A and B are shown apart, each in its own frame.
Chain A
Amino acid sequence: DAGVTQSPTHLIKTRGQQVTLRCSPKSGHDTVSWYQQALGQGPQFIFQYYEEEERQRGNFPDRFSGHQFPNYSSELNVNALLLGDSALYLCASSLRQGAYNSPLHFGNGTRLTVT
């Protein structure tokens, strides 16, 4: 049973550039959430997608956008990269939005470095 897969595993970008990160959810899951984890910190919620729509958003600027495809996979896009965007970006999937007994299952993340 394939878990959550993310690509690429590592990425180095320059300030001002744009980046796209990809995620395939765990088999059977239909909801995808994205989190940002800075070094030494806990993950911070960016947004959540269900039925191809953004359902909830954390305190992140509009430079962060996303998409969910009909096969439930998802992309995270970040425009106009800043040095402070350097972090581990985690994708998590679950079964049905806000389901009572469906914990989040995380991928191993994409390590983004902005220089």
Chain B
Amino acid sequence: EDQVTQSPEALRLQEGESSSLNCSYTVSGLRGLFWYRQDPGKGPEFLFTLYSAGEEKEKERLKATLTKKESFLHITAPKPEDSATYLCAVQAGGSQGNLIFGKGTKLSVKP
């Protein structure tokens, strides 16, 4: 069964304290791994797509990496505005586009 597990469930950081979020996945033929950011009361906002092991993508203070079993979202010198829930999702090889999401990691960055 295809599934996605994210850890930790919640993470509290001080401003400037770098850390990483983990996304472990089991999928039959990975077609793509996606990271989204979701603010309270809003829909998920697309951040990155990763397609193959070894691939990396960067955007401002965020960097996503991918291995054959997991993905990491590294946050460098976070700011309070980075506080949000970060969702990881996979698209299986046999799917027509639907995503399987993890439960997310709720990140809080204190000034």
Chain A contact residues, CB within 8 Å of chain B: 4, 31, 33, 40-45, 48, 55-56, 58, 90, 92, 94, 97-101, 103-109, 111
Contacts and interface: CB of A to CB of B under 8 A. Distances in A.
14 contacts: A33-B97, A42-B4, A42-B89, A42-B103, A43-B87, A43-B99, A43-B101, A48-B97, A56-B97, A90-B44, A92-B43, A98-B96, A98-B97, A100-B31
B44 A43 contact: yes
Contacts of A103: 34, 46, 49
Interface of B: 4, 31-32, 34, 36, 41-46, 49, 87, 89, 95-104
- Which of B87, B98, B102: most chain A CB closer than 10 A? B98
Contact of B103 (A40, A48, A92): A40
Contacts of B89: 42-43
A106 B41 CA distance: 13
Given A42-B87, A42-B102, A42-B104, A56 B96 contact: yes
A77 B107 CA distance: 34
Contacts of A56: 95-98
Interface centre among A45, A90, A99 (most CB of B within 10 A): A45
B83 to A, nearest CB: 17
B78 to A, nearest CB: 22
Given A42-B87, A42-B102, A42-B104, A105 B46 contact: yes
